[in-house]
Amino acid sequence: MTNIPRVTLNNSVEIPQLGFGVFLMPPDETKKAVLAALQAGYRHIDTAQLYGNEAEVGAALKESGLPRDDVFITTKVWNSEQGYDSTLRAFAESMNRLDLDRLDLLLIHWPVPSLDKYVDTWKAFERLYADGLVRAIGVSNFHQPHLQRLFDETSVVPTINQIELHPHLQQAAMRAFNAEHGIATEAWSPLGRGTLIDDRLINEIAARHNKTPAQILLRWHIELGNVVIPKSKTPSRIVENTDIFDFSLTADDMAGIATLDNGTRVGPNPDPMS
């Protein structure tokens, strides 16, 4: 049994707060890594059309022998597939690769405002949700104006907004906006792509708790209430990343980590992205 807590989304669907990401994971490594993650107790796998490894995620789920309803699967519609009809087609292709009849969470990968298609894409999401093909729909890398437009022009409020989030980019205003509208915040690149592992403060906190820097960073996300999706292909680290539920950070720890926010991104800024 897994001890990973769950976050209840605004449509009452529950998502495991700690998930396993497969971004930049080659297909030939994905199946093995996902199987290791499921064996370690993960019950939430995050993939995307762009990653090119949906089929391997689906194959690992089948091979694991776990009941389908026990594992929460997320995928995302890529920028080139945005638009109403193309989104429906892309979703069908993803489901074929994943070999699933029903998806747990579907996200718009980026708003790409220059394309001006994310509203039509969202309307296709609403149809898939109404038809029962997706349990929850959400967005990724959306800023306040992008979300506000969805509020103004569509009917269903996103359940989740997956954004770059780590101690160097803490996104307090975006997290607050999400919370105000009942949208869960999910963190991608939760370790800052390794840029925080050698941070002096993080290592001092890790030493006090007898934990690794990665465990401290992931615990920080948990205590903020974020859904978080670390990635690793190393079995020992896959297990290590789940060992974060037997301790808590102190108020001083949290205050110290708050001082690390410097606005540094490791990925693109969604606003000018074309």
**Rounded CA separation 154/149 (Å):** 8
Sorted by sequence, the CB contacts under 8 Å of residue 8 that are 6+ apart come out as: 14
Place of tokens 């290590």: 240
3-state per-residue secondary structure call for 113-127: CCCCCHHHHHHHHHH
Catalytic residue status for 51: yes
The one catalytic residue among 51, 84, 118, 129? 51
232 contacts 24 by C-beta, under 8 angstroms: no
Residues labelled as active-site residues: 51
